[in-house]
Amino acid sequence: MPNPPIDDLFGDEPAALPLGAQAVLLRGFALAQAQALVQGVQQVALRAPWRHMQTPGGKAMSVAMTGCGPLSWVSDRRGYRYADRDPLTGRPWPAMPAAFARLARAAAQQAGFAHFAPDACLVNRYEPGARMSLHQDRDERDLAAPIVSVSLGLPAVFLWGGATRGERALRVPLHHGDVVVWGGVDRLRFHGVLPVAPGEHPATGSCRINLTMRKAL
Protein backbone atom coordinates (compact mmCIF):
# COMPACT_ATOMS: atom_id res chain seq x y z
CA MET A 1 0.00 0.00 0.00
CA PRO A 2 1.54 3.38 -0.97
CA ASN A 3 2.43 5.87 1.71
CA PRO A 4 -0.02 8.80 2.06
CA PRO A 5 1.17 12.22 0.90
CA ILE A 6 3.09 14.02 3.59
CA ASP A 7 0.54 16.87 3.47
CA ASP A 8 -2.08 14.40 4.65
CA LEU A 9 0.16 13.27 7.49
CA PHE A 10 0.91 16.71 8.84
CA GLY A 11 -2.17 18.80 7.93
CA ASP A 12 -1.29 22.47 8.24
CA GLU A 13 2.45 22.36 7.67
CA PRO A 14 5.02 24.62 9.28
CA ALA A 15 7.18 26.74 6.97
CA ALA A 16 10.10 24.38 7.62
CA LEU A 17 9.18 20.70 7.59
CA PRO A 18 11.89 18.19 8.56
CA LEU A 19 12.22 15.26 6.17
CA GLY A 20 15.13 13.69 8.01
CA ALA A 21 17.85 14.45 10.53
CA GLN A 22 19.57 16.75 8.01
CA ALA A 23 16.88 17.26 5.37
CA VAL A 24 14.16 19.91 5.33
CA LEU A 25 11.36 21.20 3.11
CA LEU A 26 11.21 25.02 3.19
CA ARG A 27 7.68 25.87 2.07
CA GLY A 28 7.55 28.95 -0.17
CA PHE A 29 11.15 29.91 0.60
CA ALA A 30 11.83 31.01 -3.00
CA LEU A 31 8.55 32.81 -3.67
CA ALA A 32 9.97 36.31 -3.27
CA GLN A 33 12.74 35.51 -5.77
CA ALA A 34 10.65 33.36 -8.13
CA GLN A 35 10.41 35.91 -10.93
CA ALA A 36 14.16 36.49 -10.94
CA LEU A 37 14.76 32.74 -10.89
CA VAL A 38 12.49 32.11 -13.87
CA GLN A 39 14.17 34.95 -15.78
CA GLY A 40 17.52 33.40 -14.95
CA VAL A 41 16.38 30.05 -16.34
CA GLN A 42 15.29 31.73 -19.57
CA GLN A 43 18.68 33.43 -19.92
CA VAL A 44 20.55 30.17 -19.28
CA ALA A 45 18.45 28.29 -21.86
CA LEU A 46 19.25 30.87 -24.54
CA ARG A 47 22.95 29.99 -24.28
CA ALA A 48 22.64 26.30 -23.35
CA PRO A 49 19.47 25.00 -25.06
CA TRP A 50 17.15 22.47 -23.48
CA ARG A 51 17.93 18.88 -24.41
CA HIS A 52 16.87 15.34 -23.44
CA MET A 53 20.05 13.62 -22.30
CA GLN A 54 20.64 9.92 -22.78
CA THR A 55 21.25 7.42 -20.03
CA PRO A 56 24.38 5.24 -20.36
CA GLY A 57 22.04 2.57 -21.73
CA GLY A 58 20.96 4.86 -24.58
CA LYS A 59 17.47 5.77 -23.33
CA ALA A 60 16.35 9.40 -23.66
CA MET A 61 15.30 10.99 -20.37
CA SER A 62 11.75 12.34 -20.19
CA VAL A 63 12.97 15.48 -18.44
CA ALA A 64 14.55 18.24 -20.56
CA MET A 65 17.76 19.63 -19.07
CA THR A 66 20.24 22.48 -19.20
CA GLY A 67 22.77 23.78 -16.70
CA CYS A 68 24.92 26.65 -15.55
CA GLY A 69 27.91 27.46 -13.39
CA PRO A 70 31.54 26.43 -13.70
CA LEU A 71 30.29 22.85 -14.04
CA SER A 72 27.06 21.07 -14.87
CA TRP A 73 25.92 17.47 -14.85
CA VAL A 74 25.77 15.51 -18.09
CA SER A 75 24.74 12.01 -19.11
CA ASP A 76 25.40 9.99 -22.26
CA ARG A 77 26.68 6.56 -23.25
CA ARG A 78 29.97 7.40 -21.52
CA GLY A 79 28.19 7.64 -18.18
CA TYR A 80 27.11 10.22 -15.60
CA ARG A 81 29.57 13.00 -14.77
CA TYR A 82 30.21 16.72 -14.40
CA ALA A 83 31.69 18.70 -17.27
CA ASP A 84 32.95 22.27 -17.62
CA ARG A 85 31.63 22.55 -21.19
CA ASP A 86 28.21 22.01 -22.68
CA PRO A 87 28.52 18.93 -24.92
CA LEU A 88 25.76 20.31 -27.15
CA THR A 89 27.49 23.61 -27.99
CA GLY A 90 31.11 22.93 -27.05
CA ARG A 91 31.13 26.18 -25.06
CA PRO A 92 31.51 26.69 -21.31
CA TRP A 93 28.23 26.54 -19.43
CA PRO A 94 26.55 29.91 -18.83
CA ALA A 95 27.51 31.63 -15.60
CA MET A 96 25.24 30.81 -12.69
CA PRO A 97 22.80 33.72 -12.26
CA ALA A 98 23.44 35.65 -9.05
CA ALA A 99 19.85 35.02 -7.93
CA PHE A 100 20.47 31.24 -8.03
CA ALA A 101 23.59 31.40 -5.87
CA ARG A 102 22.03 33.82 -3.37
CA LEU A 103 18.99 31.62 -2.89
CA ALA A 104 21.10 28.47 -2.59
CA ARG A 105 23.27 30.01 0.13
CA ALA A 106 20.26 31.35 2.05
CA ALA A 107 18.34 28.06 1.88
CA ALA A 108 21.38 26.03 2.91
CA GLN A 109 21.97 28.40 5.84
CA GLN A 110 18.34 28.05 6.90
CA ALA A 111 18.72 24.26 6.79
CA GLY A 112 21.85 24.30 8.95
CA PHE A 113 24.53 24.16 6.26
CA ALA A 114 26.63 27.31 6.56
CA HIS A 115 29.04 28.57 3.89
CA PHE A 116 27.49 26.59 1.02
CA ALA A 117 29.07 27.73 -2.26
CA PRO A 118 27.53 25.87 -5.23
CA ASP A 119 29.64 25.43 -8.36
CA ALA A 120 27.03 23.61 -10.45
CA CYS A 121 23.33 24.00 -11.17
CA LEU A 122 21.31 21.44 -13.09
CA VAL A 123 18.05 22.86 -14.48
CA ASN A 124 15.28 20.37 -15.26
CA ARG A 125 12.10 21.09 -17.22
CA TYR A 126 9.19 18.72 -16.59
CA GLU A 127 6.48 18.74 -19.23
CA PRO A 128 3.26 16.88 -18.31
CA GLY A 129 4.05 13.19 -17.94
CA ALA A 130 7.79 13.69 -17.33
CA ARG A 131 9.21 12.00 -14.27
CA MET A 132 12.44 11.21 -12.47
CA SER A 133 12.99 7.70 -11.16
CA LEU A 134 14.44 7.08 -7.72
CA HIS A 135 18.16 7.82 -7.69
CA GLN A 136 21.00 9.14 -5.55
CA ASP A 137 23.06 12.26 -6.28
CA ARG A 138 26.51 10.73 -5.89
CA ASP A 139 28.54 12.05 -8.84
CA GLU A 140 29.81 15.00 -6.79
CA ARG A 141 33.30 14.82 -5.29
CA ASP A 142 32.21 16.87 -2.28
CA LEU A 143 29.53 14.77 -0.58
CA ALA A 144 29.85 16.90 2.55
CA ALA A 145 27.97 19.75 0.85
CA PRO A 146 24.16 19.71 0.64
CA ILE A 147 21.83 19.66 -2.34
CA VAL A 148 19.48 22.64 -2.71
CA SER A 149 16.45 21.88 -4.91
CA VAL A 150 14.02 24.64 -5.96
CA SER A 151 10.55 24.06 -7.45
CA LEU A 152 9.02 26.55 -9.89
CA GLY A 153 5.77 26.38 -11.82
CA LEU A 154 3.51 23.33 -11.90
CA PRO A 155 3.22 21.26 -8.71
CA ALA A 156 4.86 17.87 -8.42
CA VAL A 157 5.07 14.94 -6.03
CA PHE A 158 8.59 14.45 -4.70
CA LEU A 159 9.55 10.91 -3.73
CA TRP A 160 11.73 10.93 -0.62
CA GLY A 161 13.21 7.49 -0.06
CA GLY A 162 15.79 5.89 2.15
CA ALA A 163 19.35 4.65 1.97
CA THR A 164 18.41 1.85 -0.43
CA ARG A 165 16.23 1.88 -3.53
CA GLY A 166 13.88 -0.70 -2.04
CA GLU A 167 12.82 1.39 0.97
CA ARG A 168 9.35 2.87 0.77
CA ALA A 169 9.36 6.52 -0.24
CA LEU A 170 7.32 9.33 1.24
CA ARG A 171 5.24 11.29 -1.27
CA VAL A 172 5.88 14.98 -0.67
CA PRO A 173 3.78 17.52 -2.64
CA LEU A 174 5.91 20.40 -3.91
CA HIS A 175 4.58 23.76 -5.05
CA HIS A 176 5.88 26.90 -6.75
CA GLY A 177 8.59 28.43 -4.56
CA ASP A 178 9.24 25.38 -2.36
CA VAL A 179 12.85 24.47 -1.59
CA VAL A 180 14.18 21.12 -0.36
CA VAL A 181 17.64 20.93 1.20
CA TRP A 182 19.38 17.70 2.17
CA GLY A 183 22.90 16.83 3.25
CA GLY A 184 24.91 15.21 6.02
CA VAL A 185 23.47 11.85 7.04
CA ASP A 186 20.66 12.31 4.50
CA ARG A 187 22.93 13.27 1.59
CA LEU A 188 22.64 9.94 -0.24
CA ARG A 189 18.93 9.32 0.29
CA PHE A 190 17.13 8.04 -2.81
CA HIS A 191 14.69 10.54 -4.29
CA GLY A 192 12.65 11.11 -7.44
CA VAL A 193 9.57 12.78 -8.94
CA LEU A 194 6.27 11.20 -9.98
CA PRO A 195 4.93 12.05 -13.47
CA VAL A 196 3.87 15.70 -13.53
CA ALA A 197 0.16 16.28 -14.10
CA PRO A 198 -1.04 18.58 -16.92
CA GLY A 199 -1.74 22.16 -15.96
CA GLU A 200 -0.87 25.81 -16.44
CA HIS A 201 1.10 28.07 -14.14
CA PRO A 202 1.41 31.84 -14.58
CA ALA A 203 5.17 31.73 -13.98
CA THR A 204 6.18 28.85 -16.26
CA GLY A 205 3.21 27.93 -18.43
CA SER A 206 2.59 24.21 -18.91
CA CYS A 207 5.74 22.93 -17.22
CA ARG A 208 7.57 22.57 -13.93
CA ILE A 209 11.12 23.88 -13.55
CA ASN A 210 13.49 22.43 -10.98
CA LEU A 211 16.86 23.93 -10.06
CA THR A 212 19.32 21.79 -8.14
CA MET A 213 22.40 23.55 -6.86
CA ARG A 214 25.35 21.39 -5.87
CA LYS A 215 29.02 21.52 -4.90
CA ALA A 216 30.53 19.20 -7.48
CA LEU A 217 34.24 19.70 -6.74
Summarised one tens digit per residue, pLDDT across range 101-112 is 999 999 999 999
pLDDT at 142 (0 to 100): 86
Cβ-contact 150, 204 below 8 angstroms:
no
C-alpha–C-alpha distance, residues 54 and 65, integer Å: 11
What single-letter DSSP state applies at residue 5? B
How does pLDDT run across 16-45, given as a tens digit for each residue? 999 999 999 999 999 999 999 999 999 999
Query: d(Cα 149, Cα 29) in Å, to the nearest integer?
Result: 11
- Report the predicted TM-score, pTM, of the whole model to 2 decimal places: 0.93
Domains detected in the chain: 6-214 (2.60.120.590)
